[in-house]
Amino acid sequence: MKATQLKLNRKTALKGAILFIASLVMVSCFDDTKTTYDDTVDIPVNQEMIAELTSPPHVPTPVGRRKAKKLVVKMEILEKEGTMTDGVTYMYWTFGGTVPGSFIRTRVGDEVEFHLQNHPDNKLPHNIDLHAVNGPGGGAESSFVVPGHSKVFSFKTLNPGLYVYHCATAPVGMHIANGMYGLILVEPAGGLPEVDKEYYIMQGDFYTKGANGERGLQPFDMQKAVNEQADYVVFNGKVGALTGDNALTAKVGETVRLYVGNGGPGLVSSFHVIGEIFDRVNVEGGSLVNENVQTTLIPAGGAAMIEFKVDVPGTFIIVDHSIFRAFNKGALGMLKVEGEEDKKIYSGEIRDDIYLPEGPGIQSMPTTDEIIASEVPAKSFEEQMEFGKQTYMQTCFACHQSEGQGIPNAFPPLAKSDYLNANVDRAIGTVLHGLTGEITVNGEKYNSVMTRQMLSPDEIANVLTYVYNSWGNSGKIITSEMVEKVKNQK
């Protein structure tokens, strides 16, 4: 019995040893294979396919677990006039007809055959420098193409990451400043982890002969560009490209991945989503991952992959946190999230209390009866205009801007305002009592908050007279008596 048991133990031990040696051999083969395939130059290409290209903010289908292929990219250069903001147009130079250019999605080991086509109606030669390319000029030396011609070159995708591409024809800065940039994604073997939503955003700075908001077709201003004095800093080529009906969307509980680039040519982006924290950021589009990030720097000519889960509903504002660029120059977008609220995460407003530092007793909000005028009453129309302008610059300028143009999708214009000119008493009441809720001004809807202004009746009369007699408005003159009448209405 003992001899039989000994034989069984020996057999078991021998079998275990064989399995152990076999496993070592298998591991060794896997490591050898992995070592071979780490050299991405040698990843074989198994067949040809036409690349799917998409316009912003959309991205192509993820590569998933597909094998490396010969990927044919056909991209057309178009010089075309487009809208920068309401009443302002610009002659954009584009890859694929959009700013930024078409999104290109590849995987490590792909052999990309790139066809760069310059439309015969264009005026200028162009080329393309892809930061994902290992080769002279990122492809620029092989792709210089005149109108009516097409250039073809190829490259192997060696490094996973998110990369910028742009035109590199002299003067390089001018071609980039006119909108010639985009993103190319090189996914790792096996693809990126799945998410619910993916979007393509790219920031750019624009330099125009006219000031911000000056109407008409605006030409490029080289001196402003050299001085990096941008008139517009925008997402996806124009003011409002990601707001209103163009806002990005998601549902509560979904994971969002943003592919964010910065075409520049001059300014670094401080990218931020108000009310969200980035769970993961692939810093500069590479392999380094940063977690729990509030704002991430994206250099000119750089990119970042940003992921976060949306936990509560609402409209989340996307900005360059160099904040005047957002609210004054256009670098502002929206992510609209639908779904059920979660009061454990965010309560919303619980109550609106009165706070005065004099003590804990019950207080009441001050009225205009308690407000002391900051100046003597105006004695003439000219003085009303002078005093009114002073009040406007101190009180109204930040939201409504120097020429009454407002801030698109945030604060309505006062210039040629149908809402303002239609009802003087309503305008007075707005300054006296504030205004909340949706309104329509010159055909556009706004839903911001204007707090009541702590101004005396004389100051209100002066500032409204200044507004009504500026920027194409009706020319009405407002008196302190008119203000008192509205104030005393119930």
Look at residue 36 in the predicted model and tell me its pLDDT: 39
User: Looking at residue 395, what is its pLDDT?
Assistant: 79
**Annotated binding-site residue? 167:** yes
The region, left, alpha or beta by phi > 0 then psi within -120 to 50, assigned to residue 119 is: beta
Q: How much is the pLDDT for 29? A: 33
In order of 8, 26, 242, 274, 410, the CA distances from 448 in angstroms are 83, 65, 17, 16, 6
Write down how long the chain is. 490
Predicted local confidence at residue 31, as pLDDT: 34
**Would you give per-residue pLDDT tens digits along the chain (490 residues)?**
444 444 445 544 444 444 444 333 333 332 333 333 456 777 888 899 999 999 999 999 999 999 999 999 999 999 999 999 988 999 999 999 999 999 999 999 999 999 999 999 999 999 999 999 999 999 999 999 999 999 999 999 999 999 999 999 999 999 999 999 999 999 999 999 999 999 999 999 999 999 998 999 999 999 999 999 999 999 999 999 999 889 999 999 999 999 999 999 999 999 999 999 999 999 999 999 999 999 999 999 999 999 999 999 999 999 999 999 998 899 999 999 999 999 999 998 787 666 656 554 444 444 444 444 445 577 799 999 988 888 888 778 778 887 899 887 778 999 999 999 999 999 999 998 888 788 999 999 887 777 778 788 999 999 999 999 999 999 999 999 999 999 888 6
Q: What is the pLDDT of residue 450?
A: 79
Tell whether residue 166 is among the known ligand binding residues. yes
Q: How far apart are the first and last CA of the chain?
A: 108
Phi, psi of 32, deg, nearest 5: -65, -45
Question: Residue 178: helix, strand or coil by DSSP?
Answer: coil
CB 302 within 8 A of CB 326: no
The three-point CA angle 169-172-176 to 5° equals 105
**Contact assessment for residue 260 and residue 204, using Cβ atoms and an 8 Å cutoff:** no
Q: Is 376 exposed, middle or buried (0-12, 13-18, 19+ CB in 10 A)?
A: exposed
Opening angle at CA 409, ends 235 and 331, nearest 5: 25
User: What is the per-residue pLDDT for 157?
Assistant: 97
Position 283 scores a pLDDT of 97
Looking up tokens 């989503």 gives 273
pLDDT in the model for residue 357: 65
Tokens (6 digits) for 238: 């124009």
Would you state the torsion angle of the CA atoms of residues 448, 313, 274, 283, taken in this order, to the nearest 10 degrees? -150
Ordered structural domains, the chain, with CATH: 48-338 (2.60.40.420), 375-488 (1.10.760.10)
Is 58 annotated as belonging to a binding site? Answer: no
Q: What is the CA radius of gyration of the chain?
A: 30
Report the C-alpha gap between 262 and 303 in whole angstroms. 6
**Residue 95 confidence (pLDDT):** 98
Per the annotation, does 334 bind a ligand? no
What pLDDT is recorded for position 351? 75
Q: Is 149 annotated as a binding residue?
A: no
For the purposes of burial, counting CB atoms within 10 Å of the CB of 352, is it exposed (0-12), middle (13-18) or buried (19 or more)?
exposed
The answer on whether 175 is annotated among ligand-binding residues is: yes
Q: What pTM does this model have?
A: 0.70
115 is in an annotated binding site: no
